Chains A and B, each alone.
Chain A
């Protein structure tokens, strides 16, 4: 029991560092924007950030739960792109009703997750490379789906139905409905991880897989659930993106391949499993998106954003290192 205390302390300090980082970012961009005669600190900016969060947040939730259990899924973004294309193709080419297309898209995503789970659990291959390989297979399938009857690869398939347009435009006041669904999802999954028996089992599997198996937690069943959950949520984010942009494209989410994983790690979900939570993942995502939005408003040179988003990741990892070491020292003293 003694060993647990410094770990919990480190986690608390991690959420704290992220809040500090966020405050610094907001202050920095407020100053930078005023230098460039634009304004950062407005309600519109924050609603924009909240709305930007919706798509990657489902990636981060799925990836986060999976990483807590000590696994990883790199195929999530490709699965999301596939889901978006299935939605678009289903509505505009196959003429199936919009809800059928959404169900089909999510079901196909879940099937991809099942495939990952089977290969990792039954064949015993490292999840990291398994999902990298599956990602390539899924990309190929997405290309096949986007090939029209005339054998031409269509890079983006537009679709429009009154119902899907209404879902994309739905909002409560100024806040888009998808953002509210996102917050609800974070709360539900956060509670699941922190409060339920399933959540505790996931942490235990992440900490010590063998011990979890020996104590009869059904670690394989849980691993299947988490892989399928991760891909299905990837599908959800692809569907949301597709609904919003009114098109499905095989290039969707390409820049978000590592966003979910990065957000989870930034938020304190350790790569080796068994630590972190949904609150941290949300904070991590918030920091990333605030940074991107701020760069967009404060500086017109978008290329600099590429550099600085890498720097942000490295800086956050360094801060994490420093805080963990400080905690360890304190625990040792």
Chain B
């Protein structure tokens, strides 16, 4: 096996651009409102990045394989409900039991998505929107739209704990570790390469002996489970179960935007999880900055849309670059396939 040289690798321009953008936003905010750089604000941003990041890892891994999950927020909400109800029925149990119940639910919901998309070959987009409507409906039906209190407040400490006196919450460390693990799986293992390959060309991957349906099924289940974790972290933040608390901000779309911003191709087959995570950081820092600068809501909404458009544009340009490189090296082949 040839050893990879890490030094010779060309610098990842996309990540550099994203980091520069984050820095620029922070700089502008600092110049306009220096007083806003408090430990409290930093803590808030990091917490939001944490729960979005957990969902983002799942969503982008799936997107790289060519699947899509619009039900991630609904899964998270329903998992929150499972957690809340298990603690209500048995408040004496340690928090790990309701957590495992929520995780199991998330995985199950992911498996349902996989069964619909891979088993019954439905369009992933429409099937997961349908399932999102089912799970959100279950939540509304069960709670009648009302807020449920947490019977056991042990979970609140989960997001309260910080590293020493810094504003960095331990949850953020956990998310960073999660990201590292998933990135390693994607970039350094056989499984990760299979994921990239089925996303790039499912037909070729099947001919090469891979089983795209099986791999995507695993990833749908993984997305469901990670959504459940995201839900539990969000529950710990909100300290009560609010039926529309998570879904009203459409975090599944935010995760998707961030993922594409970070260079994961919308068509699958390319991308890095760290890029997706940087995308989430950029979106959150920007939206928090817009709030701090007390700009009207319409600007925030327009900027969110423009950001996604810019992300798509750079994705399209990058894809064109890839195509140009490919067609240069295999010019005759490219012509043949076009005919």
Contacts and interface: CB of A to CB of B under 8 A. Distances in A.
B131 interface: yes
Contacts of B130: 310, 313-314, 317
A299 to B, nearest CB: 11
Contacts of A142: 298
A265 B123 contact: yes
A132 B136 CA distance: 21
Interface in A259-281: 261-262, 265, 271
Interface stretch (B114-122, B163-171, B231-239): B114-122
A187 interface: no
Contacts of B303: 140
B158 interface: no
B144 A133 contact: no
B132 A134 contact: no
Given A119-B309, A124-B316, A317-B126, A132 B267 contact: no
A123 B313 contact: yes
A306 B145 CA distance: 12
Contact of B297 (A143, A258, A265, A309): A143
A140 B141 contact: no
Contact of B301 (A139, A304, A306): A139
A153 interface: yes
- The secondary-structure label for the interface of chain A is helix
A305 interface: yes
Contacts of B313: 123, 125
Contacts of A306: 133, 136-137, 140-141
A129 B304 CA distance: 13
Given A130-B309, A134-B305, A313-B126, A147 B298 contact: yes
Given A132-B308, A310-B134, A125 B316 contact: yes
Contacts of A265: 123, 126
Interface in A117-164: 119, 123-126, 128-130, 132-144, 147, 151, 153
A133 B305 contact: yes
**Which residue, A144, A262, A307, A321, has most C-beta atoms of chain B within 10 A?**
A307
A303 interface: yes
Contact of B129 (A125, A135, A258): A258
Nearest to A314: B130
B104 to A, nearest CB: 21
Contacts of A184: none
A267 to B, nearest CB: 13
Chain A interface size, under 10 / 10 to 19 / 20 to 34 / 35 or more = 35 or more
A69 B191 CA distance: 37
A123 B134 contact: no
Interface residues of B, number: 46
A134 B308 CA distance: 9
Interface string B221-255: 00000000000000000000000000000000100
Contacts of A308: 137
A328 B303 CA distance: 47
B297 A153 contact: yes
B309 A317 contact: no
A5 B122 CA distance: 22
A307 B302 contact: no
B312 interface: yes
A271 B121 CA distance: 12
A318 interface: yes
Given A303-B144, A314-B116, A314-B134, A136 B308 contact: yes
Interface string B85-120: 000000000000000000000000000000010001
B266 interface: yes
A317 B121 CA distance: 10
Contacts of A151: 296
Interface string B12-39: 0000000000000000000000000000
A136 B145 contact: no
B300 interface: yes
**Which residue, B116, B127, B301, has most C-beta atoms of chain A within 10 A?**
B301
A303 B134 contact: no
A311 B131 CA distance: 8
B120 A318 contact: yes
Nearest to A302: B140
A319 to B, nearest CB: 10
A42 interface: no
B138 to A, nearest CB: 5
B120 A126 contact: no
A304 B137 contact: yes
Contacts of B316: 123-125
B149 interface: no
B137 A309 contact: yes
Contact of A314 (B121, B127, B136, B145): B127
B260 A129 contact: yes
Contact of B145 (A140, A303, A304): A303
A264 to B, nearest CB: 10
Nearest to B120: A321
A101 B122 CA distance: 42
B78 to A, nearest CB: 11
Contacts of A304: 137, 141
A301 interface: yes
7 contacts: A119-B309, A126-B267, A130-B312, A135-B305, A136-B302, A310-B136, A313-B129
Given A125-B315, A258-B129, A310-B136, 16 more contacts: A125-B312, A129-B312, A132-B253, A133-B257, A133-B312, A136-B308, A141-B302, A147-B298, A261-B126, A303-B144, A304-B141, A307-B140, A313-B129, A313-B130, A313-B133, A317-B122
What are the 9 closest A-B residue pairs judged by CB atoms, nearest first? A306-B137, A136-B305, A307-B137, A140-B302, A310-B133, A310-B134, A140-B301, A137-B305, A143-B298
